[in-house]
Amino acid sequence: MNHFSAWKNILIFAVVAIGAFIAVPNIFGEDPALQVSRDSGSAMSKLEYNQVSLILDEEKVEYSRIYEQDGRAMILFNRVDDQLRASDLLHESLGKAYVIALTLAPRTPDWMRAIGLRPMSLGLDLRGGVHFLFEVDIEGAVEQRLKQYESDFDKLLRKNRIKRKTRLVKDEVRITLGDANDADQAEDLLRDADADIDLSRRTESGSVIIVARMTEDQVKQRRDFAIQQNTVTLRNRVNELGVAEPLVQRQGLDRIVVQLPGVQDPAQAERILGATATLEFRLVCAGENALEAERRGRAPIGCELYTDRTGNPVLLKRRTIVSGDQLVDATSGFSQGSPAVFVRLDSKGSREMLETTKNNLQKPMAVVFVEQKRDLVERNGEMVEVNREEKEVINVATIQGVFSSNFQITGLDVLEARDLSLLLRAGALAAPIYKVEGRMIGPSLGQDNIDKGIRAIIIGLGLVAVFMVIYYRSFGLVADLALMTNLVLVVALLSMLQASLTLPGIAGIVLTVGMAVDSNVLIFERIREELRNGNSPQASIHAGYQKALSTIADANITTLIAAIVLFVFGTGPIKGFAVTLSLGILTSMFTAIIGTRAIINFVYGKRNLERLSI
């Protein structure tokens, strides 16, 4: 009756043993460390690793070990003072070509790291991480919208065969008509395209000019949209980076805070989050001399002067065929042995690309990489920040056939292809952003609060264990053993999933300690009741586990539903609490129902009992 078959016992033992093995890396702790990587993100060479160690050895900076990890140098120290001294020394010696980041590195043995075993990921409040503060160029968002109006209006009037010259002047789009008789038709077309736009008409030098301006409400909506869209885009980029439990939220009028707990690659995080890069597809101005245009310092009418990656001039048409915000998916890979980005356009972009390629077969088309940067310059004796747009032609290819939604981009190296596909997949920024502040931060709650959280788990576990032994005797010891196993399995799952443990997460574990024993209390009380009814000890054990199962399942499932709701609708710390609570519920059902039953079956299952120590 109270006997598990051999395969069940082996399975239970295997689960516990594997869980304990996965949890082992957490006992080694962490050391202060430095992460040295190239600013470009490419892998460091063996010579560069040797240079790093040589610099530290020459200055007699003590470090425990240095090793390569994903193309970066990881240097572990025994003391924080040595870590800070080494950081200053490497910053001075290596210069801006390298990123030197303060971090914490686990002391996990090399053979464990080689098979993928890692300790739990700690949250920003326990471990620290990277903190960024970005400023959104909300005026740039308005300018982007005006440029879109300029392009759309010019395209609309061209389709309706209205002669015009469209240009953007400060905060207004000016459309100079070739024929004054087209003014009414042009205004009607523009109002149909956007009913809210503010249109006015004036005459200069005998020509009729239609002036389009954004209303105050449109400007306000565009600014709010820029903040909201950039917040969403940054969240998407964080998700692509694979950071657990990040914080991405608006701060004030035009700023966004990003906190990445326990991030392992701050260099890549800064490169990806702060990137304002996007793409534009334009036709090449065939028949024009780009070298002559560069010499004169101006481009022919309808063209713009760019440079490619080798510094050679390229003349492209002013009209943009498709821009980065019309890309819906992008993946990096290889095409004919060269790195490439495979992109897919939305419906509007597909139509534009289809029409362009159909009408321009055997003509060259260029891909322009657009990036917003901010420079510090001196003006009137003061240092001020000036926004700058940098455009570079990364690829020019002849249109060999008609295509629309799917095509590829070449002319990149492996790292650029990977980062560009990530940026395009996460979405384009609605406005340029600039890093105002970026720093590695330590545990905000302090080591004292971390110790208090761990102490709370130990005290809670101890009190529950003592109560169970006093009240349920030998059965209480079995419950205590299951409780310890439950904690080990929770730690193993957190280590395997790399879900960040925060202080609220510790609270979830403390709550799990109390809840885990509830199931055993229900089972043991049911066994006592069966004994009082005159049943034999073996029958009472069987009935206790069988009849209490439905009650235990109901109680744990309802709590699990509440935890899932907290995870879905909560943010930050609430998610951390929900994760540990959910994992604790699942492991406690295994240890309290199956684990304790296996132990009790092993101890009492094959014995003729007259009484139970319960």
- pTM to 2 decimal places: 0.56
Which tens digit of pLDDT belongs to each residue from 240-264? Answer: 665 555 778 888 888 898 888 766 5
| pLDDT score of 18 more than 80 | yes
Say what the pLDDT of residue 128 is.
Answer: 67
**Average pLDDT score, the chain:** 83
Which tens digit of pLDDT belongs to each residue from 408-419? Answer: 877 777 777 777
In a domain, 247, yes or no: no
* DSSP category for residue 173: E
What is the CB neighbour count within 10 angstroms for residue 392? 15
Say what the pLDDT of residue 275 is.
Answer: 65
Same domain, 149 and 56: no
Which tens digit of pLDDT belongs to each residue from 20-37? Answer: 999 999 888 778 888 888
Say what the pLDDT of residue 519 is.
Answer: 86
In a domain, 614, yes or no: no
Same domain, 58 and 176: no
In a domain, 17, yes or no: yes
Say what the pLDDT of residue 427 is.
Answer: 62
Which tens digit of pLDDT belongs to each residue from 484-508? Answer: 999 999 999 999 888 778 778 888 8
Lowest mean pLDDT among 68-72, 231-235, 270-274, 362-366: 270-274
Q: Which residue has better confidence, 407 or 242? A: 407
Q: Which residue has better confidence, 499 or 14? A: 14
Same domain, 472 and 554: yes
| Cα–Cα dist 367/300, whole Å | 20
Enclosing domain of residue 86:
29-107
| pLDDT score of 394 more than 90 | no
In a domain, 425, yes or no: no
Same domain, 375 and 307: yes
Mean pLDDT of 192-196: 87
Same domain, 88 and 150: no
Same domain, 294 and 387: yes
In a domain, 364, yes or no: yes
Say what the pLDDT of residue 40 is.
Answer: 66
CATH number, residue 84: 3.30.70.260
Task: Compute CA 477 distance to the chain's CA centroid, rounded to the nearest angstrom.
Answer: 44
CA angle 418, 419, 425 (to 5 degrees): 90
Mean pLDDT of 577-588: 90
What count of Cα atoms within 13 Å lies in the side-chain half-sphere of residue 341?
Answer: 29
Kindly state the tokens that stand for 3.
Answer: 């006997």
Domain limit, last residue, from 218, 249, 264: 218
Total of domains in the chain? 4
Three-class DSSP category at 70? coil
% of the chain surpassing 90 pLDDT: 10
Same domain, 539 and 475: yes
In a domain, 424, yes or no: no
Which tens digit of pLDDT belongs to each residue from 293-319? Answer: 988 888 998 899 999 878 899 999 988
Same domain, 305 and 354: yes
Say what the pLDDT of residue 176 is.
Answer: 92
Which tens digit of pLDDT belongs to each residue from 426-455? Answer: 666 777 788 888 776 655 555 666 777 788
Same domain, 179 and 309: no
In a domain, 268, yes or no: no
CATH number, residue 295: 3.30.1360
In a domain, 477, yes or no: yes
Domain limit, last residue, from 369, 395, 414: 414
Say what the pLDDT of residue 371 is.
Answer: 76
Q: What are phi and psi of 276, to 5 degrees?
A: -110, 20
Same domain, 88 and 196: no
Say what the pLDDT of residue 533 is.
Answer: 87
pLDDT band at 16 (very low <50, low <70, confident <90, very high): very high
Say what the pLDDT of residue 493 is.
Answer: 92
CATH number, residue 182: 3.30.70
CATH number, residue 523: 1.20.1640.10
pLDDT band at 211 (very low <50, low <70, confident <90, very high): very high
Same domain, 33 and 19: no
Same domain, 342 and 199: no
Domain limit, last residue, from 197, 218, 239: 218
| pLDDT score of 91 more than 70 | yes
Residue 137 to residues 103, 111, 143, 144, 149: CA-CA distances in angstroms?
Answer: 31, 48, 10, 11, 19
Say what the pLDDT of residue 47 is.
Answer: 86
pLDDT band at 328 (very low <50, low <70, confident <90, very high): confident
